[in-house]
Structure 1
C-alpha cells in the first residue's frame, strides 16, 4: 500500500515538471518572437491602389495596375499586419500627365504620394512599377428632364387632383458627346399603379440604356407623388348664345340649350350654377357659305373643374330676316 502511494506521488511530480517546462517553453518562444518582430527588416509588401480626384471633363476607365508591390523597411510587427490585410494607397489623378489621349503618372511623382501615406516608422526602399498608365475618357455634361413611364389606373370615381410631381424633375448626365448629344429626356422604369383611391408616393429608378456604356447619371432614382381625390359628375343645361349675327337676321337653334358635363370635387360642384357657363354659336362660321349646323364653343367656364365637355358640338338652326 505504501509503495502504491509513493508511485502516485512520483507520477504527479513528473506531470507537474512537464507542465512547468511547457509554460517556460511558451514564454521563452513569445519573448523570442517579440524581440525578433521588434527589429527592423527590409521586405516586400503589396498595396491595393485606389484612384481618386478624376480631372474635370474626364471619366476614369481603369488603370494598368490595381496593385502596387513595394520594398519597405519596417518593423516585423508591421510586416506581419500586411499578411492579414491589404492596405490601400490613394493615387491622386490630379497629378497625372498626358500626351494626346494617353494619361500616365511617372514613378517620381506617385512615389511621393505613396510615401506621404506610409506611417512614420516605414521607409520606402523601392517600387516595382515604373509608370502607372490610366485610361481616361473625355466627357461632357448636360441637364435633361425626367419623364416618368407610369400607368395610373384610378378606382371608380377617383381622379388625379392636379399634376403628378417628380423630384427632382431633371438630372445631370455625363458622358462622351457622341453618346449624349441626342438625349433630350431620360425616362424612368415602367411603373403600374392599379385602382388608386388615395394619395401616393413612389420611388422609381431611372432607366439606363445599355447603349450608354460610358454615360453616368447624377442620381439613380426619383420620387413620384400625386394627390388623389374623389370626384363627382354633374350635368348643367346651358342656353346657347348666338353672337355676331347681323341685326336684320333672327336666328333660332334646335335645341336652344346644350348639356355641359362637369367633373369636379363634390364640394366644388355644389357651388356651380348653369350661369357660370357660356356656350356660343358664332355667325362668323357662315361667312364662307351656308352650313347644315352651327358649331358650338364653350367660351366661359368656372375654375376648379377637373374636366368639362359639351354633350353636343353642333346644333341645327333656322335663319329668318326681320
Structure 2
C-alpha cells in the first residue's frame, strides 16, 4: 500500500504539473495602485480598488494570481476630464496594464470600457504653527530670544472650502517647569476635525529654546534734554539716573553706559508751569532681559544763556 500510494502521488503530481503547464484563458482580479497624481488633484475614497481582466497564460501563472493577487499601477497623469468626471480610457488602461504584465501573459479583454477615478481639485497653502506651551524657568534664569518652532509653518493641501477655514495649527500642550538649561522637545501637531479630504505635510514639530542664568548690573546714565528753546539751557537735578539692567552674566560684561540713552523732552512742557521733566529710555542694547529706570522724572531749572 505504501508503494502504491507513493506511485499514486507521483502520478497525480505529474498530471497536475502537466495541466498547469498548459495555456488557458480565464479571468483574474488585479489590485489598483494609483500613481503620479498631479499636484492640483487628490484621490478620493470612491476610486475603484480592483479591476477584472480576461487573460491567456499558463496554469502556473493563474495559480500564482490565485495565491498572490496581482497589482497594477495606474498612472493618473493620463486621465481625461469628461462630463464632470476623471476618466482613463480603455485603450490607455490596456496599454498601461500590458506594460506591466510578463511576456507569457496576454491581456484579452477588460470588464469595463473606461476607468473612472475619483479625483477632486485641491489648493495648497502654508499655515503657521503656533506652539502651545507653558514654560516656567528656574529662579534667576531667562529665555534668550524666543522659543523656536521647526517647522514654523506646514503645507496644507485640500479642497478650498476646507483649507480656507484653517488659520493656524497648534501643537499639543507642552508643560516645562523649573527649566534652567537649553531644551529641545518634539511634539505632535493638533489638526482640526472634519477635514477628511485635507492632507498635512507633517504631523510633528520641534520646539527649542536657549536658557541662561541672568544677573543684574546698575548703570549711571546721563540725562539728555531735547527741544530746549533757543538761548536757554536746562539743568536737571540730578543730571544722571540709575538704570537696572538684567541679562546673562556674559552679556552684562559686554555692556557700557554708552549702550543706553535716557532723554527728557522739554518740548512736552510748552504752555505748562510744571518743574518736572519725565524721563524716557530711548536706547537700550539687544539681548537683555529687562531694563528699568531708577526714576521716571527729575526736577529742572531753565536758565537763559
Structure 2-normalised TM-score?
0.85
Matches within 5 A, 1:1-322: 18-181=1-164, 183=166, 185-246=168-229, 247-248=231-232, 250-253=234-237, 257-274=240-257, 276-291=259-274, 293-312=276-295, 314-319=296-301
Q: Shift in Å at residue 48 of structure 1? A: 0.9
CA RMSD of superposed structures (Å):
2.7
Structure 1-normalised TM-score?
0.81
Closer, same or farther in 2 for the Cα pair 1:267/1:212, shift >3 Å?
same
> Are the equivalent residues in 2 in contact too, given 1:262–1:307 (CA < 8 A)?
yes
- Partners of 1:64 and 1:140 in 2: CA distance: 20
Q: Shift in Å at residue 216 of structure 1? A: 2.0
> Are the equivalent residues in 1 in contact too, given 2:279–2:298 (CA < 8 A)?
no
- Partners of 1:75 and 1:158 in 2: CA distance: 77
Closer, same or farther in 2 for the Cα pair 1:258/1:219, shift >3 Å?
same
As a proportion of its length, which structure holds more strand? 2
- Partners of 2:54 and 2:286 in 1: CA distance: 79
Question: Secondary structure of the residue that 1:210 maps to in structure 2?
Answer: coil
- Partners of 2:179 and 2:125 in 1: CA distance: 36
- Partners of 1:78 and 1:154 in 2: CA distance: 68
Closer, same or farther in 2 for the Cα pair 1:226/1:31, shift >3 Å?
same
- Partners of 2:201 and 2:41 in 1: CA distance: 15
- Per-residue deviation, residues 12-51 of structure 1 (Å, max 9, x unmatched): xxxxxx3333322322222222112111222221111112
- Per-residue deviation, residues 130-181 of structure 1 (Å, max 9, x unmatched): 3322222112223343333333222222222233333333332222223334
Question: Secondary structure of the residue that 2:228 maps to in structure 1?
Answer: coil
- Partners of 1:145 and 1:153 in 2: CA distance: 24
> Are the equivalent residues in 2 in contact too, given 1:63–1:132 (CA < 8 A)?
no
- Partners of 1:47 and 1:190 in 2: CA distance: 45
Question: Secondary structure of the residue that 1:209 maps to in structure 2?
Answer: coil
Paired positions, count: 303
| Gapped regions of structure 1 (runs ≥ 5) | 1-17
Q: Shift in Å at residue 67 of structure 1? A: 1.4
> Are the equivalent residues in 2 in contact too, given 1:200–1:227 (CA < 8 A)?
yes
Closer, same or farther in 2 for the Cα pair 1:268/1:62, shift >3 Å?
closer
Question: Secondary structure of the residue that 2:67 maps to in structure 1?
Answer: coil
Closer, same or farther in 2 for the Cα pair 1:79/1:229, shift >3 Å?
same
> Are the equivalent residues in 2 in contact too, given 1:262–1:305 (CA < 8 A)?
yes
Q: Shift in Å at residue 286 of structure 1? A: 0.5
Closer, same or farther in 2 for the Cα pair 1:124/1:310, shift >3 Å?
same
- Partners of 2:165 and 2:277 in 1: CA distance: 47
> Are the equivalent residues in 2 in contact too, given 1:231–1:265 (CA < 8 A)?
yes
- Partners of 2:95 and 2:259 in 1: CA distance: 80
| Gapped regions of structure 2 (runs ≥ 5) | none
